Amino acid sequence: MMNYQLLSICPVFKGIPENEMEGLLTKIHFQIKKFNKGDIIAFGGEEVKALYILLSGSARGEMINYSGKTIKIEDIEAPKPLASAFLFGKENKYPVTVTANNKVKILSVPVPEFLKLLQQDSHVLKNYLNSISTRTQFLSQKIQFLNFKSIKEKIAHFLLLQAGDKFHSIELKQTQQQLSDLFAVTRPSLARVLGEMQQERLIKIERKTVTILNKEKLNELLANG
Protein backbone atom coordinates (compact mmCIF):
# COMPACT_ATOMS: atom_id res chain seq x y z
CA MET A 1 0.00 0.00 0.00
CA MET A 2 1.31 3.43 -0.98
CA ASN A 3 2.13 5.84 1.84
CA TYR A 4 0.87 9.08 0.29
CA GLN A 5 1.45 11.02 3.51
CA LEU A 6 5.18 10.19 3.41
CA LEU A 7 5.36 10.81 -0.33
CA SER A 8 3.90 14.29 0.12
CA ILE A 9 7.05 15.41 1.98
CA CYS A 10 9.37 14.09 -0.73
CA PRO A 11 11.10 17.07 -2.44
CA VAL A 12 9.52 16.16 -5.78
CA PHE A 13 5.95 16.04 -4.42
CA LYS A 14 6.25 18.50 -1.55
CA GLY A 15 3.08 20.46 -0.81
CA ILE A 16 0.78 18.30 -2.92
CA PRO A 17 -2.24 17.04 -0.91
CA GLU A 18 -2.51 13.27 -0.47
CA ASN A 19 -5.74 12.98 -2.48
CA GLU A 20 -4.19 14.91 -5.40
CA MET A 21 -1.08 12.74 -5.20
CA GLU A 22 -3.14 9.60 -5.47
CA GLY A 23 -4.95 11.06 -8.47
CA LEU A 24 -1.67 11.96 -10.19
CA LEU A 25 -0.19 8.49 -9.74
CA THR A 26 -3.30 6.75 -11.11
CA LYS A 27 -2.55 8.44 -14.45
CA ILE A 28 0.92 6.88 -14.84
CA HIS A 29 2.62 3.50 -14.65
CA PHE A 30 4.96 2.86 -11.73
CA GLN A 31 6.41 -0.01 -9.71
CA ILE A 32 7.17 -0.66 -6.06
CA LYS A 33 10.56 -2.34 -5.68
CA LYS A 34 11.93 -3.97 -2.53
CA PHE A 35 15.55 -4.52 -1.51
CA ASN A 36 17.20 -6.20 1.46
CA LYS A 37 20.17 -4.93 3.47
CA GLY A 38 23.32 -5.02 1.34
CA ASP A 39 21.48 -5.30 -1.99
CA ILE A 40 22.75 -3.12 -4.83
CA ILE A 41 19.96 -0.77 -5.88
CA ALA A 42 21.93 0.76 -8.76
CA PHE A 43 25.49 0.47 -10.04
CA GLY A 44 27.67 3.51 -10.70
CA GLY A 45 27.75 4.11 -14.47
CA GLU A 46 24.39 2.39 -15.02
CA GLU A 47 21.85 4.36 -17.07
CA VAL A 48 19.14 6.08 -15.01
CA LYS A 49 15.91 4.79 -16.55
CA ALA A 50 13.49 5.71 -13.78
CA LEU A 51 12.96 8.14 -10.96
CA TYR A 52 13.59 6.22 -7.74
CA ILE A 53 12.08 7.55 -4.50
CA LEU A 54 12.79 5.85 -1.18
CA LEU A 55 9.50 5.00 0.53
CA SER A 56 11.12 3.30 3.51
CA GLY A 57 14.60 2.53 4.80
CA SER A 58 17.85 4.17 3.77
CA ALA A 59 20.58 3.70 1.19
CA ARG A 60 24.15 4.87 0.73
CA GLY A 61 25.96 6.23 -2.29
CA GLU A 62 29.54 5.00 -2.67
CA MET A 63 32.30 5.26 -5.23
CA ILE A 64 35.63 3.47 -5.66
CA ASN A 65 38.76 5.62 -6.03
CA TYR A 66 41.84 4.79 -8.12
CA SER A 67 43.44 2.83 -5.27
CA GLY A 68 40.38 0.58 -5.05
CA LYS A 69 39.14 2.05 -1.78
CA THR A 70 35.37 2.44 -1.36
CA ILE A 71 34.39 5.96 -0.31
CA LYS A 72 30.94 6.71 1.07
CA ILE A 73 29.56 9.89 -0.47
CA GLU A 74 26.33 10.15 1.51
CA ASP A 75 23.38 8.36 3.10
CA ILE A 76 19.93 8.83 1.56
CA GLU A 77 16.89 8.52 3.80
CA ALA A 78 13.22 8.04 2.89
CA PRO A 79 11.42 9.83 1.31
CA LYS A 80 14.27 11.30 -0.78
CA PRO A 81 14.79 10.60 -4.50
CA LEU A 82 17.90 8.90 -5.88
CA ALA A 83 19.96 10.63 -8.58
CA SER A 84 17.04 12.83 -9.62
CA ALA A 85 19.41 15.27 -11.36
CA PHE A 86 20.60 12.48 -13.68
CA LEU A 87 17.25 11.55 -15.25
CA PHE A 88 17.99 13.63 -18.35
CA GLY A 89 21.01 14.82 -20.31
CA LYS A 90 23.72 13.11 -22.35
CA GLU A 91 25.34 11.39 -19.37
CA ASN A 92 22.25 10.24 -17.51
CA LYS A 93 24.07 7.59 -15.48
CA TYR A 94 24.30 6.93 -11.76
CA PRO A 95 27.37 8.80 -10.48
CA VAL A 96 27.75 6.36 -7.55
CA THR A 97 26.77 2.81 -6.62
CA VAL A 98 23.68 2.83 -4.40
CA THR A 99 23.40 0.11 -1.73
CA ALA A 100 20.57 -0.61 0.70
CA ASN A 101 21.51 0.06 4.35
CA ASN A 102 18.52 -1.95 5.55
CA LYS A 103 15.20 -3.15 4.15
CA VAL A 104 14.26 -0.64 1.48
CA LYS A 105 11.08 0.01 -0.48
CA ILE A 106 11.28 2.22 -3.58
CA LEU A 107 8.76 3.91 -5.85
CA SER A 108 10.06 3.50 -9.41
CA VAL A 109 8.63 5.84 -12.06
CA PRO A 110 10.02 5.29 -15.59
CA VAL A 111 11.42 8.45 -17.18
CA PRO A 112 8.69 8.68 -19.90
CA GLU A 113 6.01 8.37 -17.20
CA PHE A 114 7.68 11.00 -15.03
CA LEU A 115 7.76 13.30 -18.06
CA LYS A 116 3.98 12.93 -18.22
CA LEU A 117 3.75 14.07 -14.59
CA LEU A 118 5.92 17.09 -15.29
CA GLN A 119 3.71 18.05 -18.24
CA GLN A 120 0.45 17.51 -16.35
CA ASP A 121 1.26 19.27 -13.07
CA SER A 122 3.17 22.55 -12.77
CA HIS A 123 3.60 22.00 -9.01
CA VAL A 124 5.55 18.77 -9.62
CA LEU A 125 7.57 20.51 -12.34
CA LYS A 126 8.50 23.39 -10.03
CA ASN A 127 9.36 21.01 -7.20
CA TYR A 128 11.57 18.93 -9.48
CA LEU A 129 13.44 21.98 -10.80
CA ASN A 130 13.92 23.29 -7.26
CA SER A 131 15.12 19.86 -6.15
CA ILE A 132 17.79 19.47 -8.81
CA SER A 133 18.87 23.12 -8.45
CA THR A 134 19.32 22.65 -4.70
CA ARG A 135 21.26 19.45 -5.37
CA THR A 136 23.52 21.21 -7.85
CA GLN A 137 24.19 23.98 -5.34
CA PHE A 138 25.04 21.40 -2.66
CA LEU A 139 27.52 19.64 -4.95
CA SER A 140 29.04 22.97 -5.97
CA GLN A 141 29.58 23.83 -2.30
CA LYS A 142 31.04 20.38 -1.66
CA ILE A 143 33.59 20.83 -4.44
CA GLN A 144 34.51 24.20 -2.95
CA PHE A 145 35.09 22.67 0.49
CA LEU A 146 37.38 20.00 -1.00
CA ASN A 147 39.88 22.79 -1.74
CA PHE A 148 40.51 23.30 1.99
CA LYS A 149 43.08 21.07 3.68
CA SER A 150 41.70 20.94 7.21
CA ILE A 151 38.26 20.57 8.77
CA LYS A 152 38.87 23.77 10.71
CA GLU A 153 39.37 25.69 7.46
CA LYS A 154 36.15 24.22 6.04
CA ILE A 155 34.20 25.25 9.13
CA ALA A 156 35.75 28.74 9.12
CA HIS A 157 34.87 29.25 5.44
CA PHE A 158 31.30 28.03 5.97
CA LEU A 159 30.66 30.22 9.02
CA LEU A 160 32.17 33.36 7.49
CA LEU A 161 30.18 32.80 4.31
CA GLN A 162 26.93 32.37 6.26
CA ALA A 163 27.53 35.35 8.54
CA GLY A 164 28.70 37.80 5.88
CA ASP A 165 30.06 41.20 6.89
CA LYS A 166 27.15 42.30 9.09
CA PHE A 167 26.46 39.36 11.40
CA HIS A 168 28.35 37.40 14.04
CA SER A 169 25.67 34.81 14.85
CA ILE A 170 24.02 32.35 12.49
CA GLU A 171 21.22 29.82 12.89
CA LEU A 172 22.29 26.46 11.53
CA LYS A 173 19.71 24.95 9.19
CA GLN A 174 21.77 21.79 8.69
CA THR A 175 22.18 18.88 11.07
CA GLN A 176 25.70 17.86 12.08
CA GLN A 177 25.38 14.87 9.72
CA GLN A 178 24.42 17.15 6.81
CA LEU A 179 27.38 19.41 7.57
CA SER A 180 29.77 16.47 7.72
CA ASP A 181 28.43 15.30 4.34
CA LEU A 182 28.91 18.78 2.92
CA PHE A 183 32.47 19.02 4.24
CA ALA A 184 33.25 15.42 3.16
CA VAL A 185 34.36 14.47 6.70
CA THR A 186 33.07 12.08 9.36
CA ARG A 187 30.60 13.33 11.95
CA PRO A 188 32.88 12.48 14.93
CA SER A 189 35.75 14.41 13.32
CA LEU A 190 33.50 17.41 12.74
CA ALA A 191 32.26 17.32 16.35
CA ARG A 192 35.82 17.12 17.67
CA VAL A 193 37.00 20.14 15.65
CA LEU A 194 33.92 22.17 16.62
CA GLY A 195 34.75 21.43 20.25
CA GLU A 196 38.36 22.54 19.72
CA MET A 197 37.21 25.79 18.11
CA GLN A 198 35.01 26.50 21.12
CA GLN A 199 37.91 25.87 23.50
CA GLU A 200 40.07 28.25 21.44
CA ARG A 201 37.33 30.90 21.81
CA LEU A 202 36.86 31.15 18.05
CA ILE A 203 33.16 30.29 18.20
CA LYS A 204 30.39 29.59 20.71
CA ILE A 205 27.64 27.04 20.04
CA GLU A 206 24.27 27.14 21.77
CA ARG A 207 21.88 24.55 20.32
CA LYS A 208 21.47 25.55 16.65
CA THR A 209 23.04 29.01 17.04
CA VAL A 210 26.73 29.55 16.29
CA THR A 211 28.32 32.84 17.37
CA ILE A 212 31.62 33.87 15.83
CA LEU A 213 33.81 35.24 18.62
CA ASN A 214 36.90 36.02 16.54
CA LYS A 215 36.33 36.75 12.84
CA GLU A 216 39.90 37.92 12.42
CA LYS A 217 41.31 34.56 13.52
CA LEU A 218 38.93 32.66 11.23
CA ASN A 219 40.04 34.81 8.30
CA GLU A 220 43.68 34.16 9.23
CA LEU A 221 42.99 30.40 9.12
CA LEU A 222 41.86 30.71 5.50
CA ALA A 223 44.65 33.11 4.53
CA ASN A 224 47.32 30.76 5.92
CA GLY A 225 45.72 27.57 4.64
State the CATH number of the domain containing residue 115. 2.60.120.10
Looking at the fold, whether 75 and 166 belong to one and the same domain comes out as no
* Bridge partner residues of 171 (DSSP): 209
Q: Which domain holds residue 188?
A: 151-224
State the CATH number of the domain containing residue 169. 1.10.10.10
Distances (CA, A) of 14 to 101, 127, 173, 180, 210: 25, 7, 18, 25, 29
* Bridge partner residues of 74 (DSSP): 61
pLDDT at position 6 is 86
Looking at the fold, whether 108 and 218 belong to one and the same domain comes out as no
pLDDT at position 67 is 59
Q: What is the DSSP string of 160-197?
A: HHHHTTT-SEEE--S-HHHHHHHHTS-HHHHHHHHHHH
Cβ atoms within 10 Å, residue 151:
21
Looking at the fold, whether 176 and 65 belong to one and the same domain comes out as no
Pair 159, 218: CB distance under 8 Å: yes
Looking at the fold, whether 28 and 111 belong to one and the same domain comes out as yes
pLDDT at position 197 is 95
pLDDT at position 51 is 97
What are the 10-residue block averages of pLDDT along the chain, 225 residues in total? 83 90 91 96 95 95 72 84 91 92 96 95 94 81 75 90 84 86 86 94 92 91 75
Looking at the fold, whether 191 and 124 belong to one and the same domain comes out as no
pLDDT at position 33 is 96
pLDDT at position 2 is 77
CA–CA dist 66, 62 (Å, integer): 13
Looking at the fold, whether 39 and 80 belong to one and the same domain comes out as yes
